[in-house]
Amino acid sequence: MMADDPASAAYSEYGNMQSEEPYGGEDSRRSVPAEERGKYAEKLLIKHLLHDYDPRARPVVDAMSPKIFISKNFVRQITVSFGMSLIQILDLNENEQVLTTNVQTLYVSCR
Protein backbone atom coordinates (compact mmCIF):
# COMPACT_ATOMS: atom_id res chain seq x y z
CA MET A 1 0.00 0.00 0.00
CA MET A 2 1.06 3.55 -0.60
CA ALA A 3 1.83 5.80 2.36
CA ASP A 4 -0.76 8.38 1.27
CA ASP A 5 -3.49 5.74 0.90
CA PRO A 6 -6.39 6.64 3.30
CA ALA A 7 -6.84 3.01 4.35
CA SER A 8 -3.19 2.60 5.30
CA ALA A 9 -3.24 5.97 7.09
CA ALA A 10 -6.25 4.89 9.14
CA TYR A 11 -4.61 1.54 9.91
CA SER A 12 -1.35 3.15 10.99
CA GLU A 13 -3.24 5.69 13.10
CA TYR A 14 -5.12 2.88 14.84
CA GLY A 15 -1.85 1.01 15.19
CA ASN A 16 -0.36 4.03 16.95
CA MET A 17 -3.32 4.10 19.32
CA GLN A 18 -2.72 0.45 20.16
CA SER A 19 0.96 1.07 20.81
CA GLU A 20 0.19 3.20 23.85
CA GLU A 21 1.12 1.12 26.87
CA PRO A 22 -1.59 1.43 29.54
CA TYR A 23 0.03 -0.99 31.96
CA GLY A 24 3.70 -0.06 31.91
CA GLY A 25 5.24 -1.75 28.87
CA GLU A 26 5.52 -5.03 27.00
CA ASP A 27 6.55 -7.14 30.01
CA SER A 28 3.56 -6.10 32.10
CA ARG A 29 1.10 -7.27 29.40
CA ARG A 30 1.65 -10.86 30.47
CA SER A 31 0.33 -10.11 33.96
CA VAL A 32 -2.74 -8.16 32.78
CA PRO A 33 -5.78 -10.25 31.78
CA ALA A 34 -6.68 -10.13 28.09
CA GLU A 35 -10.16 -8.87 29.00
CA GLU A 36 -8.66 -5.74 30.60
CA ARG A 37 -6.45 -5.07 27.57
CA GLY A 38 -9.53 -5.47 25.35
CA LYS A 39 -11.48 -2.92 27.39
CA TYR A 40 -8.63 -0.44 26.99
CA ALA A 41 -8.48 -0.98 23.22
CA GLU A 42 -12.27 -0.57 23.00
CA LYS A 43 -12.13 2.73 24.90
CA LEU A 44 -9.38 4.00 22.59
CA LEU A 45 -11.39 3.03 19.51
CA ILE A 46 -14.56 4.73 20.77
CA LYS A 47 -12.58 7.85 21.69
CA HIS A 48 -11.04 7.89 18.20
CA LEU A 49 -14.37 7.37 16.38
CA LEU A 50 -16.24 10.03 18.36
CA HIS A 51 -13.56 12.72 18.64
CA ASP A 52 -15.44 15.07 16.23
CA TYR A 53 -18.95 14.02 17.29
CA ASP A 54 -21.31 16.88 18.18
CA PRO A 55 -23.96 15.60 20.62
CA ARG A 56 -26.18 18.56 19.71
CA ALA A 57 -26.50 17.30 16.12
CA ARG A 58 -29.99 16.27 15.14
CA PRO A 59 -31.60 15.26 11.85
CA VAL A 60 -33.28 18.49 10.72
CA VAL A 61 -32.91 20.74 7.74
CA ASP A 62 -31.11 23.97 8.59
CA ALA A 63 -28.86 26.48 6.81
CA MET A 64 -25.99 23.97 6.71
CA SER A 65 -28.08 21.04 5.40
CA PRO A 66 -28.88 20.37 1.76
CA LYS A 67 -32.34 21.71 0.91
CA ILE A 68 -35.21 19.27 0.44
CA PHE A 69 -37.98 20.73 -1.70
CA ILE A 70 -41.46 19.24 -1.47
CA SER A 71 -43.00 21.93 -3.63
CA LYS A 72 -41.53 25.01 -5.25
CA ASN A 73 -40.70 26.93 -2.03
CA PHE A 74 -41.32 24.43 0.76
CA VAL A 75 -38.54 22.85 2.81
CA ARG A 76 -39.40 20.24 5.46
CA GLN A 77 -37.67 18.49 8.32
CA ILE A 78 -36.17 15.07 7.76
CA THR A 79 -38.26 12.25 9.23
CA VAL A 80 -36.25 9.54 10.94
CA SER A 81 -37.86 6.33 12.19
CA PHE A 82 -36.19 3.98 14.65
CA GLY A 83 -37.64 0.66 15.71
CA MET A 84 -36.55 -2.02 18.14
CA SER A 85 -37.91 -5.55 18.52
CA LEU A 86 -37.18 -7.73 21.52
CA ILE A 87 -35.88 -11.06 20.26
CA GLN A 88 -34.80 -12.79 23.46
CA ILE A 89 -34.20 -12.15 27.18
CA LEU A 90 -30.73 -13.56 27.84
CA ASP A 91 -30.23 -12.81 31.53
CA LEU A 92 -31.79 -10.98 34.47
CA ASN A 93 -29.63 -9.96 37.42
CA GLU A 94 -32.07 -8.65 40.01
CA ASN A 95 -29.38 -7.68 42.52
CA GLU A 96 -27.62 -5.35 40.08
CA GLN A 97 -30.85 -4.54 38.19
CA VAL A 98 -29.37 -5.51 34.82
CA LEU A 99 -31.43 -7.03 32.03
CA THR A 100 -29.46 -8.53 29.13
CA THR A 101 -31.42 -8.88 25.91
CA ASN A 102 -31.07 -9.71 22.25
CA VAL A 103 -32.82 -7.09 20.09
CA GLN A 104 -33.22 -6.24 16.44
CA THR A 105 -33.08 -2.58 15.41
CA LEU A 106 -34.43 -0.84 12.34
CA TYR A 107 -33.43 2.67 11.26
CA VAL A 108 -35.14 4.41 8.36
CA SER A 109 -34.36 7.91 7.13
CA CYS A 110 -37.16 9.23 4.92
CA ARG A 111 -35.78 12.01 2.78
Q: What is the pLDDT of residue 76?
A: 59
**Burial grade of 14 (CB within 10 A; 0-12, 13-18, 19 or more):** middle
- pTM exceeds 0.75 for this model: no
Would the pLDDT of 39 be above 60? yes
* Terminal-residue alpha carbon distance, the chain: 38
Model confidence pLDDT, tens digit, residues 70-82: 666 655 566 678 8
Q: What is the pLDDT of residue 69?
A: 63
Three-state SS string across 70-94, please? CCCCCECCCEEEEEEEEEEEEEEEC
Q: What angle do CA 45, 57, 78 make, to 5 degrees?
A: 120
pLDDT band for position 8 (50/70/90)? very low
List all residues 6 or more positions away from 28 whose beta carbon is below 8 Å from its beta carbon. 21
Q: What is the mean pLDDT of residues 34-41?
A: 76
Domain extents for the chain?
1-57, 58-111
Q: What is the mean pLDDT of residues 19-42?
A: 64
Would the pLDDT of 63 be above 90? no
Would the pLDDT of 43 be above 80? yes
